[in-house]
Structure 1
Amino acid sequence: MEATSSSESPLLTSITKDGCTDLKGRSISRQLTGGWKASFLIIGVEVTERFAFNSIYNNLLSYLTDVMHQSSATAAKNVNVWYGVASMLPLLGAFLSDSYLGRYRTIILSSLVYLLGLICLTLSTSLTFLIPPPCDNTSFFCPRPTAFQMGFFFISLYLVALAQGGQRPALQPFGAEQFDDGDPTERKHKSSFFNWWNFGLSIGLLLAGCVIVYIQENIGWGLGFAIPTVTMAVALPVFMCGTQMYRHKMPSSPVTRILQVFVAAIRKWNVSIHSQAEQSLYVNRGHTETRKLLPTDQFKFLDKATIEIDLDREHRTNIYWRLCTVTQVEEVKLILRLLPIWVACLMYGVVYVQSPTYFTKQGTTMDRRIIGHFKIAAASMQIFITISVLVLVPVYDRIFVPLARSITRNERGITLLQRISVGLSFSVLSMIVAALTEMKRLQVAKEYGLIDTPQVTIPQSIFWLLPQYILLGIAEVFAIVGLQELFYDQMPETMKSLGTALYWSIFGVGSFLSSILISIIEEISSRGKGQSWFADNLNKAHLDYYYWLLAALSALFLCIYLIFANCFIYKKEESKVYGDQEIT
């Protein structure tokens, strides 16, 4: 695209250059739409969604053990499976968003289902006939919930999982699209957007961890779920108030584009791509994509899909399944490059799910007093992850990035892959510290003769757990924000929701892997007369062994990640000129 001439209308110069339109597919003005004003409304929805989701997730283990009378291992597996499903469903939501509904409509529909799930969950935890009777403290007998009670609760729970499966992949790309890639200033704002997105997200987490957990444990579970329901009911109409100012990317069919490349390449498996004539043909063949991608040397077998042969000229009706553009082929390569990074980060997903499960169970055994008789809820310790993020994100965005940028000349300060590697390193360190802290907790329990009395509080402050939470928060600032931006930035233009969904699926698969690990370890460690690492009596369990295992596996996966990251090639876009600026 050539620089805009001075004789052109000011209206034309203000039109977005990255293909964004209004809801009906018409060109829109950059001055009247998008930017921080629109993105803040979208961030507001994310704050509400994270507040609602973590109001459930943070204390779900306690609800399942204390109210639904499940064992610790069973409850932990149920939490991990639910969280895993919730983190995998964005793949379905991304497909619907990218291919059919568009991000805006996906957000609206998902919010309505979310509201329904929260209403059902509030009823499930409020109405007496939906809650099993409490345990008998004299006989220590705990009545099992009926099938109806269990079914209604889990249906409500999975309705929420289904709804966030639509919201998660649509919200973040929709927010990022409010910044025009064709404008140098807005392009820098887009990079900052991911930092402030997580800052806002952390506010939702903080409110859930501080306010809702306390209400659930000290006032009532019903009220604890009713408050997020009300906030979701308010957030939806507020979001819709910004409809006229939002920028949109029209849905297309990314799955079809991917399949076309593989089909075309397979049909030409015996075609050579090494001759100069063919090389020139597939590099320079004309096409109509908004942002053209330049060819790269990885996965060269796919380049055969771009070579036009005599047979292609005879089958013009099915040409898209025989001949693909360079950009189309490079889009598939982008996805293939991200998959090894995805695999290498799976252990980080396993580490991530420890804080609302076994970190919380550790805390319930410890002295939780703060001032006088006031006690902090064990699940509320997760707020220190959030506080770490809230403190470090502004420091990273406003201090570290400008300083690093002046040294590296990289727009982001350091590369996305470098940022992720720092976060993965901190996650390994958090598991090492968690193992050492658990060893100390077991030692204190032994010294005070509390091994066989799990109902007695161990005289050790819960704030011994603080370092492992803070380290997870530091890891989140680097790894999670880096992964979010990587899977958004390196995905094709038509597959941004899919990129966000792939990022979330790291934690879904990680949660499933955590459940599998728990099941395997529980089976092996409890054979014969052995004591399970996950015994209900944590004073006889060995969570320290579990944390050491996670630290070792995380270190191994970090090494694998560094190998894959060293081979990673960032996407290369054709240089374009917007106004007086060249954008690559």
Structure 2
Amino acid sequence: MAESKKVPGDTEAQMSDSVSKKGGLITLFFIAGTLSGVMLSGFGWLANLIVYLVEEFNVPSISATQISNVVHGCMNLIPILGAIISDSYLGTFSVVAISSFISSLGMIMLTLTAKLSSLKPPPCETGSSLCQTPSKVQLAILYVSIAMASAGLGGSRYTLATMGANQLDKPKDKETFFNWFFFTIFASCIISSTAIVYVEDSISWELGYGICFAANFVALAIFLAGHQFYRRDKPRGSPFTGLLRVVVAAVWKRKLVLSSRSEDYYHEHDGTNKVMPATPKRSFRFLNRAALKTEGDIYSDGSIARPWKLCTLQQVEDLKTLIRLFPIWSSGIFLTTPIAIQSSITVIQALSMDRHLGSNFKIPAASIVVVVLISSSIFVALFDRFLFPTWQKLIGRPLTPLQRIGVGHVINVLSMAISALVESKRLETVHAHHLEAQHGAIVPMLVWWLFPQLVVVGIGDAFHFPGQVALYYQEFPASLRTTATAMVSLVVGIAFYVSTALVDLIRNVTGWLPENINSGRLDNLYWILVTAGALNFIYFLVCAKLYKYQNIEKEVDATSSFDI
């Protein structure tokens, strides 16, 4: 018989060291201002990075997309590091403050690269293939400024989400906060990817980057102004240490014979009233030895005497949960990789197309990708208000997180197929006007042709990104709830690095991606992504079909015949 312990839905509210008279709704005004400023600043320079590298530093277009992918990857890996440092050593307040300060310094340096002619090479004439490359010193200063700006953005973004949720006590309030959090990110990205990018392209890079610095500085000032109101959690030590102890303890006790008796296992829990079985589950049985009690493992008061040789039954089951989730999580890497490639390649395509809107206005190339953000924002709201409630009324149950992710896979493959067809059309226009050999030539084809694929990507994002966040938050161990939401960021970060390696591989073994994309075959790259995406979807279906929801309280009809 399983030990059944009832749990309030949110474990963080039960942490005694989190509860104080501070916190509450008043703190959200400061956090909202901080998040808005950080995102306006970060995406104000990040959205236009490829154009800046190509036009101001004479970096070849494909190389610029590779650099952009590396920067995006770094920015999306840093939140995991920030979460570990926050949980283990400094707390959320210090991590956000330090990260925002670092990004401010990075923006100062980046603004100087735009202002001072000595920090960048002379401009390259249109149509010329003999452009002066930047010096090592110029590149070093540029890369250091980009690294600091991206590190600050990555370190503060998801840490603000955790800090904001920690200011509230009721689970419903926290759910509302997360909705507001992502809406603020989307809205800030839309503004920065349009207004600030327009300033950079049409007025000056110096002014655009200056606005980014000002936004970052104001964000830091707002954040520090609210310090007396924040509820601050004390660092509790890295939850990954407990998981590592399970592996070490299981190895130490590898020769012990497993028992079927409940009293032979250590049942002390970590303060979260989670439903736990009396004996370990049979899956991954080798790890069960970590909770097997032996002489000298426990003090007389019942506490653990040798933490690296004995773990709680809950810690063992928590590690098993992460192992079960890993295949599904890994499928998200190649779900996001095509999106990473498309986001950078689309900017290069836009640079070679007619971007005029009327006779006087020219759409900045980097602002094209804002279509994805607008599409995602609109369809997230439509799905939440109309599609998902309608589905539940018709079917009798809500869409599970795995079902939402699966739909996202299909739509993502469809988007890559549309991208391939549009690029084929663009190349036909290039050949019809004999523009293959003209470096930097503008193809007489409106940039609006790129919009359908971006809208479809946004629809897919509205399915699979919230689905992944919901799955990880629902299924992750309580001790890792802070890290759960950052797992999506980790997927995105890895995907950008994979996309860089994939593009490099294709560039080295084929002639599809030359410096002048008008003489290349970008459509073939997209067809490869369609094929790989379809295979990845099959892999996801297998993983999802085999996965069984672990969180009993939030499981949605996991015994149904089609439970993904």
TM over 0.5: yes
Q: CA distance change for structure 1 residues 306 and 408 in 2, over 3 Å: closer, same or farther?
A: farther
1:520-539 aligned at under 5 Å gives the runs: 520-525=505-510, 532-539=511-518
Cα deviation, residue 460, structure 1: 1.4
Distance 2:314 2:243 in 1: 11
Partner residue in 1 for 2:265: 282
Task: Specify which of 4, 19, 38 is matched with residue 14 of structure 2.
Answer: 19
Q: Is the 8 A contact 2:127 2:440 kept in 1?
A: no
Q: CA deviation at 1:492?
A: 3.0
Deviation at residue 143 of structure 1 after TM alignment: 1.7
Render the CA deviation track for 1:413-451: whole Å, top value 9, x for unaligned: 322222222222211111110001000111112222222
How far does residue 2 in structure 1 lie from its aligned partner after superposition? 10
Task: State the partner residue of 1:211.
Answer: 195
Range 207-216 or range 445-454, more displaced: 445-454
The correspondence for 1:236, drawn from 217, 220, 226, is 220
Within the candidate set 68, 73, 83, 1:79 is matched to 68
Amino acid at match of 2:250: A
Residue 203 (structure 1) shift: 0.7
Q: Does the CA contact (< 8 Å) of 2:74 and 2:493 recur in 1?
A: yes
1:334 aligns with 2:313: no
Q: How far apart, in 2, do the equivalents of 1:226 and 1:511 lie?
A: 27
State how 1:321-400 maps to structure 2 within 5 Å: 321-400=308-387
Residue 243 of structure 2 aligns with an amino acid whose one-letter code is: I
1:175-229 alpha-carbon deviations (Å, 9 max, x no partner)? 333443xxxxx43444444443222111111112111221111111111111121
Alignment of 1:26-41 (within 5 A): 27-28=19-20, 33-34=23-24, 38-39=27-28, 41=30
Identity in percent? 32
Asked if the contact 2:162–2:482 (Cα under 8 Å) also holds between the matched residues in 1, the reply is yes
Query: Which residue matches 2:559?
Result: none
From 430, 441, 444, the equivalent of 1:456 is 441
Which range is displaced more, 105-114 or 495-504?
495-504
Q: Is the 8 A contact 1:344 1:561 kept in 2?
A: yes
Query: Is the 1:294–1:574 Cα contact (8 Å) retained in structure 2?
Result: no
What whole-Å deviation, never above 9, does each CA across 1:222-252 have from its counterpart, x for those lacking one? 1111112111111223233444554454322
Q: Which runs of 5+ in 1 are unaligned?
A: 4-14, 181-185, 526-531, 576-584
SS of 1:145's equivalent in the other structure is: coil
Gaps of 5+ in 2: 555-564
- Mapped partners of 1:2, 1:261: distance in 2: 23
> Is the partner of 1:286 in helix, strand or coil?
coil
Aligned-partner residue type, residue 126 of structure 1:
K
C-alpha contact 1:419 1:482 (8 A) present in aligned 2: yes
Q: CA RMSD in A?
A: 2.9
Q: Deviations over 1:512-559 (max 9, x none)?
A: 11111111111111xxxxxx2111222211110001101111111121
Q: Matches of 1:409 and 1:170 in 2, distance apart?
A: 37
In 1, the alpha carbon distance for the partners of 2:42 and 2:178 equals: 20
Distance 1:38 1:404, change over 3 A: farther
The residue type paired with residue 218 of structure 1 is S
- Say whether the 8 Å CA contact 1:59–1:356 is kept in structure 2: no
- Structure-1 residue corresponding to 2:529: 550
**What is aligned with 2:561?**
none
- AA partner of residue 392 (structure 1): F
Tell me if structure 2 keeps the 8 A contact 1:263–1:321. yes
Please give the alpha-carbon distance, in whole angstroms, between the structure 2 residues aligned to 1:368 and 1:171: 37
SS at match of 2:518: coil
Q: Which moved more, 1:485-494 or 1:251-260?
A: 485-494
Write the distance in 1 (CA, Å) between the matches of 2:227 and 2:552.
31
Amino acid across the alignment from 2:171: R
Question: Which residue of 2 is the match for residue 498 of structure 1?
Answer: 483
- Whether the 8 Å CA contact 2:404–2:463 is kept in 1: the answer is yes
Q: 1:173/1:71 Cα in 2 relative to 1: closer, same or farther (>3 Å)?
A: same
Counterpart contact for 1:132–1:144, Cα < 8 Å? yes
User: Which of the numbers 461, 465, 477 marks the counterpart of 1:476?
Assistant: 461
1:539/1:216 Cα in 2 relative to 1: closer, same or farther (>3 Å)?
same
Superposed CA deviations along residues 342-374 of structure 1, whole A, max 9, x for unmatched, are: 211111221222344111111111111111232
Output the TM-score relative to the length of structure 2: 0.88
- d(CA) in 2 for partners of 1:281 and 1:398? 50
Q: Are 1:221 and 2:221 counterparts?
A: no
What is the CA distance between 1:317 and its match in structure 2?
Answer: 7.3
Matched, 1:131 2:132: no
